[in-house]
Amino acid sequence: MRNSIAIAKKELYLYFTTPIAYVAFFATSFIGAWFFLSLTSSFQRQSMQFMQFQAPQMLERMNLTDMVAAPLLINMGLILTFVIPFLSMRLFSEERRQKTMELLMTAPVRSSEIVFGKYLSALVVLAVVIGIVSAFPALLSIFGSGGGGSAIEWQTVGAGLTGLFLCGAAFLAIGLFVSSLTDSQVVAALITFFVLLLTWMISWKAAEAEGVWRDVILHASSVTHLVQFARGVVDLSDVVYFLSVIALGLFLTHRAVESRRWA
Query: Residue 147: pLDDT band by 50, 70, 90 thresholds?
Result: very low
Q: pLDDT of 102-133, one tens digit each?
A: 677 777 788 888 899 999 999 999 999 999 99
pLDDT at site 111 = 83
Distance separating alpha carbons of residues 61 and 52, to the nearest angstrom: 16
| CB 85 within 8 Å of CB 175 | yes
| Packing angle of the helix pair 185-201, 70-88 (nearest 10 deg) | 150
Contacts of 56 (CB under 8 A, 6+ apart): 50
Q: pLDDT of 167-202, one tens digit each?
A: 999 999 999 999 988 888 899 999 999 999 998 888
Report the greatest alpha carbon distance in the chain.
Answer: 74
Domain map of the chain by residue range?
2-261
Query: Residue 52: pLDDT band by 50, 70, 90 thresholds?
Result: low
Distance separating alpha carbons of residues 130 and 69, to the nearest angstrom: 13
Statement: residue 236 has pLDDT above 60: yes
